[in-house]
Amino acid sequence: MTAPLDDEVVDLRRATAELQRRLDEALAELQIRTAERDEFSQREIATTEVLQVINSSPGDLTPVFEAILEKALRVCEAAFGFIATYDGEHFHTMAGRGLPPALADILRTPYRPPQGAPAQRLIDGESVVQIADILEEEGTVQGLNPVRRALVETAKGRTFLTVALRKEGVLLGDIVIYRREVRPFSDQQMALLENFAAQAVIAMENARLLTETREALDQQTATAEVLQVINSSPGDLTPVFDAILEKAKHLCETAFGILQTYDGERFHLAAFNDLPFANKPVYLGPQTPEPGGLLARHVAGEDRIHIPDLAADRELYQVHPRRRFLVDDLGIRTQLSVSLRKDGVLLGTITVYRQEVRPFTDKQIALLENFAAQAVIAMENARLITQTREALEQQTRRLSYCRSSILHPAISRRYSTRYWRRHTSSAGSPMAG
């Protein structure tokens, strides 16, 4: 009886051990599934919260970028990070979280990544770049570029992950996060950061569309307001020119502007706003175009002259005193001028200025050209009104003279005598020949 009982005990113990093993496996699997569920839940909550921020902040990217960074750092277990936009040449830091002061100072300035840098790899087409250990990649701190040196020395950053913000293949920017220990990000965390990048792109696209809609509405409103001024001031160009320059300043973001008319020989200042040299009569008088100068180029046929930096061309800067005056005395750097033309005839110009090197956009240039067309309409209306008024005045004088002739026979006789002599032939009779 003892042997069978021992065998049963052994079997029971084996069964118990097997049951315990299966139970442990089930518990481990449950823990994994629970962790995955919790992680998925965190991701879903984070995604939903970011979408709520996007919906509640239409056109405002700052709160969206800050929300994305906060969620990304928490869910991906990162210490700090930032989001930057890309303009085709430079990256511009738009939001940062947990950045050490030294790194934040460096990132305030737009930067162009060096060859081989992670940001350059994104420019070259990669979507995700991870560096497990920043220091190990270069070998020494001295071999790092200034940004990475600040990362390692002051921020203690070691593991790096960046994903591209891309729209239809065009790079719009990137999200960058760091860990202070050497601990690579998992595939799930990288996928999550890519999801956040997709949300950032949605926010940027919404902001772009809203901005374009707002700009289009502003332009339509400005155009309508100028036309109202034209209709309410028939023949009076001063309020029209003032309105045009005011709208151009607001919508084209200019420091000041001038409108000049052209009489075929010289340009005359017809209107201006915020002109720094308005108290200097020498600069307000008629201008004869300088050879090679901006006005001479308009006379030669150019309709649009855009100079991104007046000081960039040192030869022209030295040759033209007016350009030196604009740059040295007024601090003007960017200039845009468009012609006022009617049937190919130059009537004048509109010129606007910026006190920083910031080229005008294509939309701003097109808007100024539209204002120029409105100025030409106003000038043509004024010309027709003046001609009509002069014709009416001449006709009124003739009618008045005729009435006087009828009322005063002596005047009538003198007029008839003059008429007879003027129309008498050399033979002495109007019927001769």
C-alpha 318/C-alpha 366 separation (Å) is 31
Crossing angle for the helix pair 237-252 and 362-407, to the nearest 10 degrees: 180
The SS3 of residue 11 is: helix
pTM above threshold 0.75: no
The SS3 of residue 96 is: strand
What residue type is assigned to position 319 of the chain? V
What residue type is assigned to position 113 of the chain? P
Q: Which run of H or of E encompasses 66?
A: helix 61-75
Joined together, the tokens standing for residue 53 give 């921020």
The SS3 of residue 89 is: coil
Q: What's residue 235's pLDDT?
A: 77
Alpha-carbon distances of 304 from 168, 262, 295, 301, rounded to whole Å: 32, 16, 11, 9
DSSP annotation of 298 = H
**CB-based contacts of 293: which residues, under 8 Å, 6+ apart?**
320, 322, 323
Cβ burial of 8 (10 Å; 0-12, 13-18, 19+) is exposed
**In terms of Cα–Cα distance, which of 270, 300, 284 is closest to 378?**
270
Q: What's residue 162's pLDDT?
A: 96
The SS3 of residue 250 is: helix
Q: What's residue 33's pLDDT?
A: 61
Q: What is the pLDDT of residues 122-173, one digit of tens each?
A: 999 999 999 998 887 655 555 566 667 777 777 788 899 999 999 999 999 9
Joined together, the tokens standing for residue 55 give 């919906």
Task: List, in order of start, the domains of the chain with CATH numbers.
Answer: 19-209 (3.30.450.40), 233-385 (3.30.450.40)
C-alpha 310/C-alpha 333 separation (Å) is 5
Place of tokens 């239809």: 168
Q: What's residue 340's pLDDT?
A: 95
DSSP annotation of 85 = E
β 304-307/334-342 pair status: antiparallel
C-alpha 426/C-alpha 335 separation (Å) is 67
Alpha-carbon distances of 321 from 165, 283, 293, rounded to whole Å: 47, 12, 10
DSSP E strands in 150-224: the ranges are: 159-167, 170-179
**In terms of Cα–Cα distance, which of 74, 83, 94, 90 is closest to 123?**
90
Q: What is the CA radius of gyration of the chain?
A: 39
Question: For residue 222, which phi and psi values (nearest 5 degrees)?
Answer: -65, -45
Question: For residue 397, which phi and psi values (nearest 5 degrees)?
Answer: -60, -40
**In terms of Cα–Cα distance, which of 265, 315, 312 is closest to 286?**
265
Residues 159 and 178: beta-carbon distance below 8 Å: yes
C-alpha 275/C-alpha 285 separation (Å) is 14
C-alpha 138/C-alpha 397 separation (Å) is 94
pLDDT under 70: residue ranges of the chain: 1-10, 19, 23, 26-59, 137-147, 277-283, 317-319, 401-433
Q: What's residue 431's pLDDT?
A: 32
